[in-house]
Amino acid sequence: MDIMGALAVASQSIKLAKDLRELERELDSAGYKAKMAELYGNLADIKIALSDAKEALHEKDGEIKKLTAEIIALKSGETCPLCQSGNLKVTSIKPHPIFGVMGQKEHTLTCQNGECGHRETRLVIPAER
């Protein structure tokens, strides 16, 4: 049951409570007991719905934290393919030894994790003008 369903059941429960207050004293006890049983049933449904909503919110909070961490990792650079904990940063840019005259460059990327030390070179082709 979702939050809206829980609110609808809560509204019904409030109406039942008002009905119980308005019952005349002459009403037989079976009718009174039936209304009380319905009220208790509705309150149990509300409790379950709110518990489910709390669990769903907890799951969504975990998902939000996970996605936030991924966004931060993506903004800070590419993850090192070896250690999977450091980020690759461009530490050197120089013209390609053969194709440098055509604007192509070599980027040297180094892992920022001090224990890893991974280093790689990539060919970068400039965008067409």
DSSP string, 57-82: HHHHHHHHHHHHHHHHHHHT-EEPTT
119-124 and 87-95 beta bridge pairing: unpaired
Dist. CA 36–CA 30, nearest whole Å: 10
CATH 3.30.420 corresponds to the domain 78-124: no
- Which one of 14-23, 26-35, 88-97 scores highest in mean pLDDT? 88-97
| Average pLDDT of the residues in 45-62 | 89
State the pLDDT at residue 61.
94
- 56-104 pLDDT, tens digit each: 999 999 999 999 887 876 676 788 888 888 888 888 999 988 888 888 9
Confidence of residue 12 (pLDDT cuts 50, 70, 90): confident
| Domain ranges within the chain, ordered by starting residue | 3-75, 78-124
N-to-C CA span, the chain? 57
Please tell me the pTM assigned to this model. 0.45
Cα dist from 9 to 33, 36, 51, 96, 113, whole Å: 19, 15, 14, 70, 55
| Average pLDDT of the residues in 4-24 | 76
State the pLDDT at residue 19.
76
State the pLDDT at residue 93.
92
Confidence of residue 1 (pLDDT cuts 50, 70, 90): low
Average pLDDT of the chain to the nearest whole number: 82
